[in-house]
Amino acid sequence: MKTVLVVGGGGREHAIVDALSRSSRVSKIYCAPGNAGIATQAECVPVKDTDVDGLLEFARTRAVDLTVVGPEAALSAGIADAFRAAGLRIFGHSAAATRIESSKEFAKRLMARYGIPTASYRSFSDYEEALTYVSRRPFPAVLKYDGLAAGKGVVIAADMQEAREALASMLLDHSFGQGRVVVEDYLEGPEFSFMCFVSGDDVYPMPLSQDHKRAFDGDKGPNTGGMGAYTGLPFITDADREFAYQEIMCKAASGMVSEGCPLCGVLYGGLMKTADGIKVIEFNARFGDPETEVVLPLLESDIFDVFDAVAAGRPVEGLRWSNAVTMGVVMASKGYPGNYAKGFEIKGIDAADAHVYHMGTALRDSCYITNGGRVLMPVCKGASLAEARARVYEAVSQIECDNLFYRSDIAHQALD
C-alpha cells in the first residue's frame, strides 16, 4: 500500500485527494497545506506549497511513495527537479517544462515552431513601441503580461485609453514584475478546457470541460480564477476534439520533447473554437481549477496508477471515464476577485446532496468558516446537463452563509 503527498490547498487539490481516496492502492494521503475540507480525507501538514526544501524533507522522512503537485507556483519553484534529483517519484513538470505556462513568449514560440494554431502576436519590453504597435491595429487589443500574474495579467482593451493604462501598468509601473508584454490578435468563439495526462510523447485525454471566468451572470464583471464548470460540451464535435488532440495537445507534447524539456504531468489547453478553427488561448502546466473538480469525479480507473505511471515514465493503461456529465458551481466570498472579508460561518455542507469540494475554508470551534476568495464548489453528476444542473443548484440552496455569492447560469452556453 502506498503513501501519497498532494501539494496545494484548494478545490483542485481537494478533488485530487478525493480521487486518491477511492484508490485501492493508497493507504495514506498527506496534503500540504490542504484545507478544512481536505482534512476530512487526508492528513494536512502545515508546509507551504512553494517550500521545496520543506516538502522534500517531509516526503523523505515520511517515506512518501509519490508526490502529486497541484499549483504552478510549486512547479515554477522547481519542486519536480528537486524531488527527481533526490530520487523521489513526483507527478509534475520540471521548472523548464513549466515555462509552457509561466512564459507566454515561450509558449508562443513553441506554437509557432511546431505549427500549433493560435492568435498571431508580437512581444514588447518598451512602452512606447508597444503603444505605437497597438495604435496601428484594430480594437479590441489583447495585452498579456509575460509571466505569472495569478490570472490577472490579461487585459482586453476596448480602446486606446484602456490600452494605454494597461501597458503603463505592465511596462512602466511593473505591477506584476519585470516581464515583457505580448500583444495578440483578438479571437472570438466559445472557450473550453482540454486537460491531458502527459508523459513525454504520450498524451492521455480527459473529458472536455468549460470554465466561467467572469464573476457575474451573463459573463459580466471582472475576470476570476473561475466561477463554475461542467463537462459534456454540446458545441464541441468529435472531429473538433480529435483535431484538438492531434494538432494541439500531441504536437505540444512532442514539441516539448524536441525542445529538451519533456512534460511529466498535466497539460491544460485553454482552447477557443473560432470561425477559423480551434486555437490555443493559453497552455497551463497543471490541472485547471475549477475544471478538475468536474473532471476527476468521472474517472473510473484508479488514479494512483495514472499518476504513478506518468511520474515513472511508464505507459498509462486502461484509462476509463464515465459517460455521465458533471456540473459544479463555485460559491465565493462577496467582493471576490477584489477585497473580501473572511471568517463567516458556513452551515449545511454535510447535508448538501453533492460532492462539496472545499476551495477556501477553515475550522473554528468545529464549524466551517470562509477562508478565501473562492470558498466551496458543490459538484453533481447527471445523465444530462439539465439533470446535473438541477441537482447542483439544489445543493447550493442547502448551503447557508451570509457572505457568499455564486453564478446562477453555469453552463448557459450549453443549455440556453
Residues forming contacts to ligand AMP in the complex (CB under 6 A) are 119, 142, 144, 154, 156, 184-187, 191, 213, 270, 281-282
Residue 49 or 211: the one with the smaller Cβ distance to ligand GLY is: 211
Q: How far apart (Å, rounded) are the C-alpha atoms in residues 406 and 229? A: 12
**CB 160 within 8 Å of CB 135:** yes
What 3-state class would DSSP assign to 182?
strand
Residue 90 CB, nearest distance to ligand AMP (Å)? 26
- Binding positions for ligand GLY, 186-225, rule CB under 6 A: 211
The residue with cell 478525493 is: 18
Partner whose footprint covers residue 284, from ligand AMP, ligand GLY, none (CB < 5 to 8 Å by kind): ligand GLY
Residue 72, contacted partner among ligand GLY, ligand AMP, none, CB below 5-8 A by kind: none
Give the phi and the psi of residue 412 in degrees, each rounded to 5. -60, -30
Q: Under the criterion CB under 6 A, does residue 289 sit at the interface with ligand GLY? A: yes
Using CB under 6 A, pick the residue from 9, 153, 226, 337 that binds ligand GLY: 226
Task: Count the site residues for ligand GLY by CB under 6 A.
Answer: 6
Residue choice 146, 184, 291, 302 for contact with ligand GLY (CB under 6 A): 291
Residue 136 C-beta: closest distance to ligand AMP, Å: 18
The answer to whether the beta carbons of residues 98 and 72 sit under 8 Å apart is yes
Identify the residue whose cell numbers are 485501492: 24
- Tell me the torsion sign for CA atoms 362, 365, 367, 369: negative
Is the separation of the CB atoms in 307 and 91 below 8 Å? yes
Which of ligand AMP, ligand GLY, none does residue 371 bind to, with CB < 5 to 8 Å depending on kind? Answer: none
Q: How far apart are the C-alpha atoms of 31 and 5, rounded to whole Å?
A: 6
Q: Where are the beta strands (DSSP E) in 200-289?
A: 202-205, 209-211, 214-216, 220-223, 228-231, 264-274, 277-284
By a kind-dependent CB cut-off of 5 to 8 A, residue 240 interacts, out of ligand AMP, ligand GLY, none, with none
Q: How far is the CB of 193 from ligand GLY (least distance, A)?
A: 7
**From ligand AMP, ligand GLY, none, which one binds at residue 291 (CB under 5 to 8 Å depending on kind)?**
ligand GLY
Q: Which is nearer to ligand AMP, 2 or 214 (CB)?
A: 214
d(CA 16, CA 269): 19
Stretch of residues binding ligand GLY (CB under 6 A), selected from 234-242, 283-291, 363-371, 377-385: 283-291
In angstroms, how far is CA 124 from the centroid of its own chain? Answer: 27
C-beta separation of 91 from 67 below 8 A: yes
E strand or H helix at 161 = helix 160-167
Q: Per the structure block, which three cell numbers stand in for 260?
A: 529538451
Cell of 48: 507551504
Residue 191 site contact among ligand GLY, ligand AMP, none (CB < 5 to 8 Å, cut-off depends on kind): ligand AMP
Q: What residue is closest to ligand AMP based on CB?
A: 282
Q: What is the 3-state secondary structure (H, E, C) of 216-231?
A: EHHHEEEECCCCEEEE
Query: Whole-number minimum distance, CB 293 to ligand AMP, in Å?
Result: 18
Is 314 in contact with 202 (CB distance < 8 Å)?
no
In the complex, the smallest distance separating the C-beta of residue 3 from ligand AMP, rounded to whole angstroms, is 35
Tell me the C-alpha distance between 95 and 57, whole Å. 19
For residue 288, state whether it binds ligand GLY (rule: CB under 6 A): yes
CB of 191 or CB of 387, closer to ligand GLY: 191
Using rule CB under 6 A, residue 231 touches ligand GLY: no
From the CB of 12, what's the least distance to ligand GLY, in Å? 8
CA distance 53 to 86: 11
Annotate each residue in 107-146 with x if it binds ligand GLY (CB under 6 A) or - if it does not, as one string: ----------------------------------------
Does 293 sit near ligand GLY (CB under 6 A)? no
Q: Minimum distance between the CB of residue 134 and ligand AMP, rounded to whole angstroms?
A: 14
Q: Among 154-162, 284-292, 307-315, 332-340, which window interacts with ligand GLY (CB under 6 A)?
A: 284-292
Q: Which of 398, 377, 201 is nearest to 292 (CA)?
A: 377
Per CB under 6 A, residues contacting ligand GLY are: 211, 226, 284, 288-289, 291
